[in-house]
C-alpha cells in the first residue's frame, strides 16, 4: 500500500533542481529496498567513492539496474545523466525519505543477549536511533549501565517517558511476558513496536507493530538448500525479502 510523500518541505536546495517531488506515492516494495541501498551507499562513502551508477549500485544490492533507477526516481530526480548519482547526496535524500534525519528514541524491553546486542548495535546509533531506556525485571540486572543507559524496571516506564518521550519500543523479552511489556510500552507513549519475542501481540489499532523472527531466514534457507540437496537441479535460491515478515501492523 503506497503512502503519500509529505509536501515539499524544501530543505536541501540541490544539484538537480531542489526536487523532493510533491505528493508522490512510494510503493512499499521500494520502501523495503531503501535501507539496502542505504547500507551500500554508506559503505561506498566510507571507501571514498563519490559517484555511483544504477548498474553498480544494483550489482551490490543484487537488484536489476532498472529497478534501482525506478526506485530512486520515485524519490526525485537525483541522478545526473551520463554520470550517475552523487553518493553523499543520495544518502542524504534517502535518509530524509526514511525519516532518518530526525531522532528516534528507542526503549528496549528485555536486557538479555539480544537486547544488549541491539543496544550496542552500530546500525542503531548510526541511524539516529537513540536507545534511551532499557528495562528488565531481573533484579540482578537492574541498575547496570549499558553505554550510559541504566537498566530499570518496566514499571518505571511511565516515569522514564515523562522526562524522555519514547517513540519506538523493542521487545526482546521471553514470550510469556511480551504482551505485558507491550502494554506497558504503549502506556508509556510508544507508538511503534518491534517484537522479537515469538508471541502474537494484541495492540491498539494506532500502534505500528512488526515482528522479527531470527530463525525465519534460516527456515527459508532450509527450504532452498533442501531443494538443492534433493535434486541437484536448477536449485537457484531466489532473493526473498523475509524475516521481518509475519503478523505485522494492521491490514
Q: Which of residues 21-40 bind a second copy (CB under 8 A)?
A: 28, 31-36, 38-40
Cβ 85 to DNA, closest distance in Å? Answer: 6
Plot region of 110 (φ>0 → left; ψ -120 to 50 → alpha; else → beta): left
Cell numbers at 9, concatenated: 518541505
Choose which of 45, 142, 177, 245 interacts with a second copy (CB under 8 A).
245
Out of DNA, a second copy, none, what residue 72 binds, judged by CB under 5 to 8 A for its kind, is DNA
Contact between 79 and DNA by CB under 7 A: the answer reads yes
The contact pattern for a second copy, residues 108-147, with x = CB under 8 A and - = no contact, is ----xxx-xxx-xxxxx--x-x------------------
Segment contacting DNA by CB under 7 A, of 38-46, 65-73, 152-160, 169-177: 65-73
Cβ-based neighbours of 176, under 8 Å, separated by 6 or more = 199
Q: Which partner in DNA, a second copy, none is near 84 (CB below 5 to 8 A by kind)?
A: DNA
Distance CA 209, CA 171 (A): 11
Gap between the Cα atoms of 185 and 165, Å rounded: 11
Q: According to the binding rule CB under 7 A, does residue 44 interact with DNA?
A: no
- Interface residue with a second copy among 6, 18, 143, 165 (CB under 8 A) is 6
Site string for DNA, 1-40 (x = CB under 7 A): xx-------------x----------xxxx----------
Could you say whether residue 3 binds a second copy (CB under 8 A)? yes
Integer angstrom CA distances of residue 156 from 182, 193, 215: 14, 18, 32
- Residues from 52 through 91 that contact a second copy (CB under 8 A): 60-62
State how far the Cα of 6 lies from the Cα of 3, in Å rounded to an integer. 9
HSE (side-chain half, CA atoms, 13 Å) at 83: 10
- Cβ proximity to a second copy: between 15 and 127 the closer is 127
Partner whose footprint covers residue 77, from a second copy, DNA, none (CB < 5 to 8 Å by kind): DNA
Apex 101 CA angle, 95 and 103, nearest 5:
135
d(C-alpha 131, C-alpha 149), whole Å:
8
The answer to whether 53 contacts DNA (rule: CB under 7 A) is yes
Q: What DSSP state is assigned to residue 153?
A: -
SS3 label, residue 86: strand
Place of cell 524491553: 109
Task: Give the number of C-alpha atoms closer than 13 A to the C-alpha of residue 2, restricted to the C-beta side.
Answer: 12
Residue 81 binds which entry of DNA, a second copy, none, CB below 5-8 Å type-dependent: DNA
Residues in contact with DNA by CB under 7 A are: 1-2, 16, 27-30, 52-55, 63-67, 69-70, 72-73, 77-85
Amino acid at each position: 500500500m503506497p503512502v503519500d510523500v509529505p509536501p515539499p518541505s524544501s530543505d536541501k536546495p540541490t544539484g538537480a533542481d531542489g526536487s523532493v517531488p510533491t505528493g508522490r506515492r512510494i510503493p512499499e516494495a521500494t520502501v523495503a529496498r531503501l535501507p539496502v541501498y542505504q547500507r551500500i551507499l554508506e559503505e561506498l562513502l566510507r571507501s571514498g567513492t563519490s559517484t555511483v551508477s544504477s548498474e553498480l549500485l544494483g550489482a551490490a544490492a543484487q537488484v536489476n539496474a532498472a529497478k534501482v533507477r525506478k526506485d530512486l526516481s520515485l524519490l526525485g530526480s537525483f541522478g545526473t545523466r551520463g554520470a550517475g548519482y552523487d553518493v553523499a547526496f543520495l544518502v542524504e535524500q534517502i535518509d530524509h525519505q526514511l525519516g532518518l534525519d530526525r531522532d528516534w528514541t528507542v526503549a528496549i524491553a528485555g536486557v538479555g543477549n539480544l537486547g544488549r546486542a541491539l543496544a550496542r548495535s552500530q546500525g542503531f546509533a548510526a541511524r539516529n536511533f537513540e536507545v534511551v531506556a532499557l528495562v528488565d525485571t531481573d533484579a540482578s540486572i537492574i541498575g547496570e549501565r549499558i553505554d550510559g543507559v541504566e537498566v530499570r524496571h518496566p514499571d518505571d516506564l511511565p516515569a522514564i517517558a515523562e522526562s524522555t518521550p519514547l517513540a519506538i519500543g523493542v521487545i526482546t523479552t521471553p514470550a510469556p511476558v511480551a504482551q505485558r511489556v507491550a502494554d506497558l510500552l504503549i502506556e508509556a507513549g510508544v507508538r511503534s513496536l518491534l517484537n522479537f519475542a515469538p508471541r502474537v501481540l494484541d495492540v491498539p489499532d494506532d500502534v505500528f507493530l512488526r515482528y522479527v523472527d531470527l530463525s525465519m531466514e534460516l527456515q527459508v534457507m532450509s527450504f532452498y538448500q533442501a531443494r538443492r540437496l534433493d535434486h541437484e537441479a536448477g536449485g537457484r535460491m531466489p532473493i526473498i525479502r523475509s524475516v521481518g515478515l509475519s503478523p505485522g501492523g494492521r491490514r
